[in-house]
Amino acid sequence: MRVLKFGGSSLASVNRFSEVADIVMQQAATEQVCLVLSAPQGVTNTLVELTDLAYLGTDFQALLQQLKQRYQLLLDAVERLNEQQNPEFLS
């Protein structure tokens, strides 16, 4: 079994996620794979900062909203990619 771990810049965009998926599929074609995904680039630092702000009782809503927007942008890009590759996907 091969363990594959990706995070950081490897998950910074939908294109990078797609590249990771290609690597995983290639490896899985010849052997069992255990896939470990960590946070996209910059997210771990943002989570630490959010935790620090919450611990200090400081307003963290703006930073939390930025993080939500980042994930929403990734989701939107995935949906656009699905529409391009599989027009019937949303039908």
pLDDT tens digits for range 4-17: 999 999 999 989 99
pLDDT attached to residue 87? 59
> Could you tell me the pTM of the whole model?
0.74
28 has a pLDDT exceeding 60: yes
Task: Tell me the average pLDDT across 38-54.
Answer: 95
Domain limits, the chain: 1-39, 42-91
Distance of alpha carbon 40 from alpha carbon 1, whole angstroms: 25
CA atoms within 13 A of residue 53's CA, in its CB half-sphere: 13
Residue 40 buriedness (CB in 10 A; 0-12 / 13-18 / 19+): buried
- 22 and 15 Cβ atoms separated by less than 8 Å: no
Residue 34 has pLDDT above 60, yes or no: yes
Q: Is 84 helix (H, G, I), strand (E, B) or coil?
A: helix
pLDDT surpassing 60 at residue 91: no
What is the reported pLDDT for 46?
96
Alpha helices in 1-91 (DSSP H): 14-28, 43-56, 61-85
